[in-house]
Every structure is written in structure tokens, then in C-alpha cells.
Amino acid sequence: MPRDAPEITPELLLNAYAAGVFPMAEHRTGPTQWVDPQRRGIIPLDGLHISRSLAKRIRRGGFSVTFDTAFGTVVRACSDREETWINDEIFALYSQLHTMGFAHSIEIRQGSLLVGGLYGVRLGAAFFGESMFSRASDASKVALVWLLARLNAGGFRLLDTQFVTSHLTRMGAIEVSRAAYHRRLAQALTVRADWNALPADAAPEDVLRLARTALP
């Protein structure tokens, strides 16, 4: 069960992730709590489901993809909904982690308009996906494809989605037990990975290839 958290610092937050625990608020103005679910959502790094229509959409283009250029805007967009677990404390903490180089965002734009994206936390060879948003057709899916390509190019070992939703299940997410997750996490934390291995100008075909195949 979630439990009320003491005052959280960025260092405490990183230690919590390393222990398999993450923070959430029940609502925008609610207190921050620690969560360690019995069943954990992950996307296997060689298990992303890319539909033919999505692959066609990516090859057709019409959007631009950037990394870490609008972190705060992405987090705010992820919380711009009636029910959100992102309170002011969480926003401030992840902004600090971004400044420290541990939190990252992917931005999807059409022209100058930000239409989708996601953000998460990186430790070792683990990436903890926090939230995503979409204001245009397939925008969050495109962000997820670019995320998988970036993780696979950089030698990551684990993509944690925390929970499984119908949207994530269609993209390849599965549930594992808490014990199985902790084993995967412990292994990932012993490995170094490179968040910046994917070239900024990677061609769509290369991104699609990398998103489907985890490197040894």
C-alpha cells in the first residue's frame, strides 16, 4: 500500500528508484506517497509492438523529434488532465533531476507546436518511464518508438512503465511480479548505458529497426 513519504530530496528519490520504489500523489494537491506495486509494468526492449499504420506514419514524417529541450513543458503537459498524480512537489523534484542529468524528455512537434512527448528517469541501464501525453494522432506512440530506439542504441536493459494500461499493452507492455522486477532492476543497475547514443538526425527507418531489437 502507498504510504506517506517524508520530505523528499532528489538524492532520496534516486535511491528510491534504485530500490524499486517511486513516488505518486493521489491527485494534484494531494501528498506525495511511495509506491512499490506487487505487479510491475515493463516493455521488453525487444518486444515493442509497432503496427503497420504507425510504421507508415513514422516513415511519412511531418513531425520533428527532440530530446531534453522542453522537459518542464512536457511534464506540465502530462499533468494537464482532470486526474493527475503529478503534484507541485513531484514537478519540482523531477525538474531538479533533469538539471542533474537523471531525468529526460522526448518531444514531438508539428511545426512549432508541441503535440506529444514523454519523460522519465535514467539510472544505470534502466529507464523509468513516468508519463506521456498526446495532442495529435499517434504523437505519444511516436515518442515511445523513439524512446525504444534510444534505449536500444544506448545499451539499456530495462524499461519500467510502472503500471500497464490498455494503450501500453497494445504497444507491448507486460506485467511481471515484484520479485522478477527487482531482479531485472538489480541487473540493469550494474551496467552503464548511453542516453545520447542515438544520433539526433537518425533516419526513420533506423529508428524503427532499433526500436524493435535490443542490442546484446
Q: What is the per-residue pLDDT across 55-100, written as a single tens digit (0 to 9) for each?
A: 999 999 999 999 999 999 999 999 887 777 788 899 999 999 999 9
Q: Taking the model in full, what pTM does it have?
A: 0.93
Q: Does residue 7 carry a pLDDT above 90?
A: no
Q: How far apart are CA 36 and CA 205, in angstroms?
A: 37
Q: How confident is the model at residue 176 (pLDDT cuts 50, 70, 90)?
A: very high
The domains of the chain are located at 3-212
Q: How confident is the model at residue 3 (pLDDT cuts 50, 70, 90)?
A: very low
Residues of the chain above pLDDT 70, percent: 96
Q: What is the pLDDT of residue 30?
A: 76
Flag whether pLDDT at 210 surpasses 50: yes
Share of the chain above pLDDT 90, in %: 81
For the residues of 51-75, what is the DSSP string, one character each?
A: -HHHHHHHHH--SEEEESSSHHHHH
Task: Give me the mean pLDDT over the 163-188 stretch.
Answer: 95
User: How far is residue 31's CA from residue 85's CA, in Å, rounded to a whole number?
Assistant: 10
Average pLDDT (116-131) is 97
What contacts 4, CB < 8 A, 6 or more positions away?
31, 33
Beta strands across the sheet bearing 126-134: 64-67, 103-110, 113-123, 126-134, 158-162, 39-42, 174-177
* Domain at 3-212, CATH from 3.40.190.10, 3.40.630.70, 3.40.50.1100, 3.30.470.20: 3.40.630.70
Average pLDDT over residues 32-44: 93
pLDDT of residue 183: 97
Give me the mean pLDDT over the 47-53 stretch: 94
